Amino acid sequence: DTGVSQDPRHKITKRGQNVTFRCDPISEHNRLYWYRQTLGQGPEFLTYFQNEAQLEKSRLLSDRFSAERPKGSFSTLEIQRTEQGDSAMYLCASSLATRAYEQYFGPGTRLTVT
């Protein structure tokens, strides 16, 4: 499969625990995006990378959230001290920088905080 993959697909955690999600983009894509989608809403931008550099972060990304893309390939999104309001689908997308409008989305990680 040469598409965007995300792991895990589902995560249930208790409030206060830390969670980490992984995204593997399409191999030749140098841009990687994270979005969050809550029930009944469209995806909202969280952050994006070009290669290993994190170039923009949304105000939605509180201090409890951190994202990395250490070698310019896969990316991780960590949420510390999870809250019930963090329950959402976390979507990853990738693109070429020269065609940034053509984003390919992964299947998402659904987080449930109990």
Partner 1 sequence: AQSVAQPEDQVNVAEGNPLTVKCTYSVSGNPYLFWYVQYPNRGLQFLLKYITGDNLVKGSYGFEAEFNKSQTSFHLKKPSALVSDSALYFCAVRDRGNTGKLIFGQGTTLQVKP
Residues 15-54 that bind partner 1 (CB under 8 A): 31, 33, 35, 40-45, 48
Around Cβ 109, how many Cβ atoms within 10 Å? 22
Residues 69-88 that bind partner 1 (CB under 8 A): none
Buried b (16+ CB within 10 A) or exposed e, 61-73: beeebebebeeee
93 DSSP β-pair partners: 33, 105
Judged by beta carbon, residue 21 or residue 35, the one nearer partner 1 is: 35
- The residues binding partner 1 (CB under 8 A) are 4, 6, 31, 33, 35, 40-45, 48, 55-56, 91, 93, 95, 97, 100-108, 110
